[in-house]
Structure 1
Amino acid sequence: MDNAASVALSVLGASVTRPTVVLAEDHPPVAEQIREVLGGDFDVLAVVGHGEALVKAVRRLRPDAVVTDISMPGMDGMQAARELLTELPGLPVVFITVHDDPTLARAALTIGKGYVLKASAGEDLADAVRCVLDNRYFVSAALGRIEALVGTLH
């Protein structure tokens, strides 16, 4: 969280730094809901609707983490994350998706460290971002034990 994009707030005279996030989601109503979920704990610097815009926003804004839908028109979230990680190794990435497919989750977790089902985003997303910021994996509980998904990645 020592990223230059972190936003400092003054709370009762003390300085508090909130992690920053760029969000990619191609459905505006869903993007707004996710933004609200994240806004309680993080500063959402930008909301974009496709992978190309995600890459541009992250290059410009240098957030602490990225939250991206997997399925988007044009460049999808996984492609965008791969491209970003070549330039910014270690960038924390959380994928959000409707797909409760363990095979897709495994593939996503070779790129990022978080995999959250949209159905559980309200409960899981803030925790997922905190985990990836701490260099830990997070997978929605509906997909089963995290060890079963990430244990084979290393």
Structure 2
Amino acid sequence: MLLADSHLPMLQGVRSLLEALFAAVVMVADEGSLLETIERLDPDVVVVDLSMPVHEGADVACQLMARFPGLRLIALSIHDEPAVAARMLDAGVAGFVLKRTAAVDLIPAVEAVLEGRSFVSPTVAGRA
């Protein structure tokens, strides 16, 4: 499991949720470390903050899906608009979880993604 977020408190909180599911939860806080770690470890699932700054300007999730098409990626976001979630799913992201509901939604999202299903936080999905 790979977790990427540039905000340390969020990173630590999400890690504590995921440690119950995975033997190892690797955390990174920048784009370079994220790319290098995906290439080196080939993680089962990657959870990434959509607000993570990226070098090329496009959002990190779309860049990752273009570079690693088979990646099982869950996007964390503060944006609760259904259009944002739809754009992520269209880009190939397997899950879309709101940061404010991550404590409730992240574990079901990870389980769904590992089973080959997609997941969108119910708060967003209910507004679509």
Contact 2:15–2:25 (CA under 8 A) maintained in structure 1: no
Output the CA distance in 2 between the equivalents of 1:35 and 1:121. 11
Q: How far off is 1:145 after superposition?
A: 4.0
Given the alignment, which residue of 24, 34, 50 partners 1:70? 50
**For residue 8 of structure 1, what is the aligned residue in structure 2?**
none
Shift of 1:61: 1.0
| 1:55 pairs with 2:38 | no
Q: How big is the alpha-carbon RMSD for the aligned residues of Structure 1 and Structure 2?
A: 1.8
TM-score, length basis structure 2: 0.87
Normalised to the residue count of structure 1, the TM-score between the two structures is: 0.73
1:136–1:93 Cα change, 3 Å: same
User: Which ranges of structure 2 fall in alignment gaps of 5 or more residues?
Assistant: none
> 1:140 corresponds to which residue?
121
Structure 1 CA distance for aligned equivalents of residues 7 and 123 of structure 2:
23
Cα 1:114/1:108, change in 2 over 3 Å: same
More strand by share: 1
**Secondary structure in structure 2 of the residue aligned to 1:99:** coil
Number of aligned residue pairs: give it. 124
SS at match of 2:88: helix
Are 2:100 and 1:122 equivalent residues in the alignment? no
Does residue 81 (structure 1) correspond to residue 81 (structure 2)? The answer is: no
Instruction: Report the secondary structure of 1:119's partner residue.
Output: helix
Contact 1:55–1:80 under 8 Å retained in 2? no
If asked which structure has higher relative contact order (CA below 8 Å, sep 6+), I would say 2
Amino acid at match of 1:121: A
For residue 93 of structure 2, give the secondary structure of its aligned residue in structure 1: coil
Alignment of 1:1-154 (within 5 A): 21-75=1-55, 76-85=59-68, 89-110=69-90, 111-145=92-126, 148=128
AA aligned opposite 1:108: M
Which 4+ residue blocks in structure 1 deviate beyond 4 angstroms? none
Q: For residues 31 and 66 of structure 2, what CA distance do their matches in structure 1 show?
A: 10
Superposed displacement of residue 45, structure 1: 3.8
CA distance in 2, matches of 1:80, 1:28: 22
